């Protein structure tokens, strides 16, 4: 299994020289504890400079700007490669990042201890492709299984949920705990999007031109620049936070520390 794991720089190198599989494939790109670009957090706090060099957007050790720069560099590398014309870039997260969602997640069942089992808070998902719908937002439900379901359809694969061991596992869960959706949900689970609605039927059929790479690429001068310095901050984009639009005061205490566990140092120390 480890033979399919490579350093992220290998992916960029293979992209640039056209060395990825000619038969197509699925490539998972993610950051980690350290970034290969030598970026450092903009916050001058020594504790932040030391502890937050990660680039996978994890709150315990990564810096949000560095993580977003990694994402932008990855999208640009694909958009500017020979593979753009036949690719679909799916951007999503494996964790919610915070308990901020105002929509209660649906609950599906109870586990043997009586605890509810269901979906967690919603997370972002973007699909970039020359065949994608432009300027569209879809509200259909899905989860990480949607990425697998999409891959199953593109490559004509048997869904994981329909493999013998998974079918047996689901039957056992139904018998033991009365759960209908145990195991992979890339098939036989209602309400899981296959992401195909994100693609434009006219572009797939060739009756409308595919989107150029410029639709996905991020200008390089913005990749490593904070929004307030790039002119792409909320104010510049005409976005007003809800508290300000409603006139709600939201003063930040002088001793507020957004990282009490990972950076317990006092402000100014």
| Residue-range domain boundaries for the chain | 2-157+189-245
Choose from 92-96, 103-107, 123-127 the range with maximum mean pLDDT. 123-127
Mean pLDDT of 26-34: 90
pLDDT bracket for residue 96 (50, 70, 90) = low
- Top pLDDT among 259 and 158 is at 158
**pLDDT score recorded for residue 195:** 96
pLDDT tens string 177-232: 777 778 899 999 888 999 999 999 999 999 999 999 999 999 988 898 888 788 88
**pLDDT score recorded for residue 60:** 83
- Top pLDDT among 98 and 64 is at 64
pTM of the model: 0.86
pLDDT of 53 higher than 80 = yes
> Distance between CA atoms of 269 and 72, rounded to whole angstroms?
34
Q: Which two tokens stand for residue 218?
A: 């991020």
pLDDT of 28 higher than 80 = yes
Mean pLDDT of 11-34: 90
> Distance between CA atoms of 127 and 149, rounded to whole angstroms?
14
CB 210 within 8 A of CB 130: yes
Q: Give the residue among 117, 107, 106, 109 at the shortest CA–CA distance from 178.
A: 109
């Amino acid at each position: 299994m480890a033979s399919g794991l490579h350093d992220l720089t290998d992916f960029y190198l293979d992209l640039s020289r056209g060395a990825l599989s000619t038969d197509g494939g699925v490539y998972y790109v993610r950051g980690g504890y350290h970034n290969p670009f030598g970026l450092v957090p903009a916050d001058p706090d020594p504790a932040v400079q030391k502890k937050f060099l990660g680039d996978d957007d994890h709150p315990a050790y990564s810096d949000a700007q560095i993580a977003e720069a990694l994402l932008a560099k990855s999208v640009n590398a694909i958009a500017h490669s020979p593979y753009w014309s036949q690719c679909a870039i799916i951007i999503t997260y494996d964790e919610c990042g915070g308990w901020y969602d105002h929509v209660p997640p649906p609950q599906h069942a109870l586990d043997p201890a009586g605890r509810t089992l269901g979906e967690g808070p919603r997370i972002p998902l973007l699909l970039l492709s020359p065949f994608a719908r432009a300027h569209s937002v879809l509200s259909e439900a899905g989860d990480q299984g949607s990425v697998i379901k999409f891959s199953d359809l593109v490559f004509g694969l048997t869904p994981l949920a329909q493999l013998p061991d998974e079918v047996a596992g689901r039957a056992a869960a139904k018998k033991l705990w009365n759960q209908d959706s145990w195991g992979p949900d890339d098939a036989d689970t209602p309400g899981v999007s296959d992401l195909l609605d994100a693609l434009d039927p006219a572009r797939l059929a060739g009756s409308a031109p595919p989107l150029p790479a410029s639709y996905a690429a991020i200008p390089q001068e913005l990749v490593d620049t904070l929004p307030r310095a790039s002119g792409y901050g909320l104010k510049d984009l005409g976005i007003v936070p809800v508290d300000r639009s409603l006139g709600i005061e939201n003063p930040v205490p002088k001793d507020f520390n957004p990282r009490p566990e990972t950076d317990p140092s006092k402000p100014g120390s």
